[in-house]
Structure 1
Amino acid sequence: MGSPARIAVIGVGNEFRRDDGVGRVVAARLLERARSGALPPDTVVEACDGDPARLMGLWEGARLAVVVDAAHAHPGTAGRIHRIQLDAERLGHPSATSSHGLGLGEAVDLARVLRRLPERLVVYAVEGADGSLGTGLTPAVADVVEPLADAVEDEILRYRAAQAGGER
């Protein structure tokens, strides 16, 4: 087997719009874990504002991309996490949408047309309570940061184990 495929973790959001920054906070936790060796060495952790071109650039060349973003859902429950997996060109329609005007959905649609989707794209969308100007997450969203970082780490390790075992 050749060298392991790159894994991209992308935390999407704006840290100056309260709960919208949850993706960046989770990415910061995962970056600490990557630096300590808890994640495979080919894991790249980045933050992004949600611009579709930037998202596509960050997951380009990755076999697995994990995106963490804030979401709006109606009705919503602050801190609820949605996991959405897109394999190859299969696209589901989640009950939660990105908190950005343009962003993840448009990036996925455009990447599909351009054939630039990663082999596997997993999105963790966290329902927020407050997207107003300001810093800091609300308590309900802050409470899910560590469990969500754990879930993303487990996602990566399961993927790597499956890849090492010859599965896809």
Structure 2
Amino acid sequence: MAVTTGIVVIGVGNEFRRDDGVGPAVVARLQERAERRPLPAGTALAASDGDPGRLIGLWENSALAVVVDAAHAHPGHPGRVHRLELDRHEIGHAGTSSTHGLGLGEAVELSRTLGRMPRHMIVYAVEGADGSLGTGLTAAVAAAVEPLAERIEADIAQHRDAAARGGAPGR
């Protein structure tokens, strides 16, 4: 069994498909914020196109993986953020509806089957309005970036504090 270390925040998406770029936009914002207030040692920030193999490679062996992805909902409310928490040994399906061909849920299930799930995972799915070709987030989705970066920083702090106490992160 692999040793579990560190924290990883993964922004999933394609910044050339408008709102599908929200994941990488949140990671970029976290990088900017970290210049003023560094994240805890052992925290990695990464962007991914959503390929299940690459996602698993980014989050395996981590104590905490935070994943940000665009999602479709009908009816949709662009900019609304959904939060889902998973533990390594939970049974169930991570049924998020990704904007990619193979969804995040499939990557989670494959990771679980292969024994490569992080100890704890938080998924943020941000409802988008426009997935067409082009750059730049719509106003509603762009407005979600800063508050989501703050929530992720709080998740990381909560995880760090729980680890320091020798416990698991709270829900």
Quote the offset at 1:152 in angstroms.
Answer: 0.5
Matched, 1:121 2:144: no
- Partner residue in 2 for 1:58: 58
- Partner residue in 2 for 1:73: 73
Q: Deviations over 1:38-88 (max 9, x none)?
A: 310210000000000000000011010000000011221000000000012
- Partner residue in 2 for 1:156: 156
Determine the C-alpha separation between the residues in 1 that align with 2:68 and 2:91. Answer: 17
Contact kept, 8 Å, 1:34 with 1:43, in 2: the verdict is no
Q: Which moved more, 1:90-99 or 1:114-123?
A: 90-99
Matched, 1:130 2:125: no
- Partner residue in 2 for 1:165: 165
Which letter maps to 2:10? Answer: I
Determine the C-alpha separation between the residues in 1 that align with 2:87 and 2:66. Answer: 12
Determine the C-alpha separation between the residues in 2 that align with 1:156 and 1:37. Answer: 13
- Partner residue in 1 for 2:82: 82
Quote the offset at 1:107 in angstroms.
Answer: 0.8
Which letter maps to 1:82? Answer: H
- Partner residue in 1 for 2:40: 40
- Partner residue in 2 for 1:141: 141
Q: Deviations over 1:114-148 (max 9, x none)?
A: 01000001000000000000000000000010000
Contact kept, 8 Å, 2:97 with 2:103, in 1: the verdict is no
Which letter maps to 1:128? Answer: G
Q: Could you say what the CA RMSD is over the residues aligned between the two structures, in angstroms?
A: 1.6
Quote the offset at 1:5 in angstroms.
Answer: 3.1
Q: How does 1:89-108 map to 2 (within 5 A)?
A: 89-90=89-90, 96-108=96-108
Contact kept, 8 Å, 2:10 with 2:68, in 1: the verdict is yes
Q: Please give the TM-score of this superposition, normalised by the length of structure 2.
A: 0.91
Determine the C-alpha separation between the residues in 2 that align with 1:71 and 1:20. Answer: 8
Contact kept, 8 Å, 1:84 with 1:123, in 2: the verdict is yes
Matched, 1:30 2:52: no
Quote the offset at 1:104 in angstroms.
Answer: 1.2
The runs of 5 or more residues in structure 1 that have no matched partner are none
Secondary structure at the counterpart of residue 83 of structure 1: strand
Determine the C-alpha separation between the residues in 2 that align with 1:112 and 1:163. Answer: 22
